[in-house]
Structure 1
Amino acid sequence: MPLRQLRRAVLALALTLGAVLVGVGVPAAAHAATAVNYVALGDSYSSGVGGGSYDLSTCLRSANSYPKLWVASHAVNSFSFPACGGAVTSDVINNQVSALTGSTTLVTITIGGNDAGFADVVSSCRFGSDSACATAVNGARAFATGTLPGRLDQTYAAIRSHAPNARLIVLGYPRLFETGYCGLLAMSTYKRTILNQAADVLAGVIADRAAAAGATFSDARPYFAGHGVCASSPWIKDVTGVIEAYHPNATGYRYGYLPTLDAVTG
């Protein structure tokens, strides 16, 4: 074959291969850069209670919440934020999952604490006796191990049903307290210890049911370690406000919860 014809043949082959790569290779490239359609579900720990800079809704969604912070630092095609302070599992099922669609690619959630009576338990411990605190904590632990697993299963199943193509990331709750000396007006070391132990039980239940649902569990406890109430640099609020008490502050969401989510999203 003359050199000129050979060059033309090589050029034609290159163009053909290029067309094939464009036709076949684009989906792989597109998959690598799939648009993120993110929906943040859950309770006050997802809506950002304690973080300040709230919107005007009754759900106390904060500009300093971990979903907002994550969106600000990642390329996101769409973002929906139905997480609501005070939410329990039934609220997610009945109200929040409607934000999900077949095009949703990422779902995050914190849920279960309110089902287990988070606010009442902490209130009993903050203002009641050691025995009253122990009774409240034991009741919450029994609920967490006996009733909550079924509620979590229903919640994760509802999410899967509404967003079958999404990755579901379940974030846990931090331990609320450091157990060293904390002044005369603080909860006793005993109360703080059994509340932290209850948080560990809750984390174990949530992690177990998330795994059973094929979800990714990310544990917030290591990231908040050393920054609970009574720390020299606390990331959890004490009784500084009726609604915000025992929730992360803005620093806690940025340096506790955002790394918790980043650890499993990259």
Structure 2
Amino acid sequence: MDEVEIVIAHSERATLRVGDVFLKVDGSHARIHAEVELMSHAPVPTPEILWCRPPVLAIAALPGTTLGSLGGPSTGSAAAWAAAGAAIRTLHEAPLPPRPGQAGRDIAALTAELDDECELLLRNGVLPADLVTRNRQVAEAALRPWTAVFTHGDLQIAHVFVDGDEVTGIIDWSEAGQGDALHDLATLTLGHEEHLDDVIAGYGADVDLDVIHAWWSLRSLLIVRWLTEHGFDPFAPGCEVDVLKSRM
């Protein structure tokens, strides 16, 4: 009999694996329905949806392996990273989906959220003041107008599956919607700066590197405290705190 594997679990949602089936449990029924809809519109490989009965979404396992993990080595070749960049470009050139996503938050609201989070990081002594101050300065470059595209919104390295040098699928579309293209590119390469050139080569368009670096800082500042409070370790080697230190 197949064992039940907990892939990830926190207060908002959890993903379990039973054999070749993934069961995603989400506290928000609306988010589950939106994820199914956005996967159906995405012009890139996505997992087969087996059934959806909110709060549970069942999807088939994808062939291949992930590009790697944050804090761990990349298991994908340079060509695989370039293929991921090409897939992202295809997504960004698709017709806009009907809703804003994680990468499309209002600039004023995002700025206020970032400032509030930096204040909490300093007040609670989570991070050194110079680390927070410097990365807040770097993050400013991401807080500018952008042309909305179809974004994944949470394009972590572990959400991209490859087989050899080909992308076999992208998972976890719960944050997808209209947003900033460079947010996706930055999220994919977070903690794996050595593959940024490969991704950009596959993406095939001019990219503002200062904005990529800014999104690295912004995303890391916003999530360090949440990760700590939910049982994850952003201080582990190669993870979010090391990303922040790399901008010093």
Taking structure 1 as the reference length, the TM-score comes to 0.29
Q: Which has the higher contact order (CA 8 A, sep 6+)?
A: 2
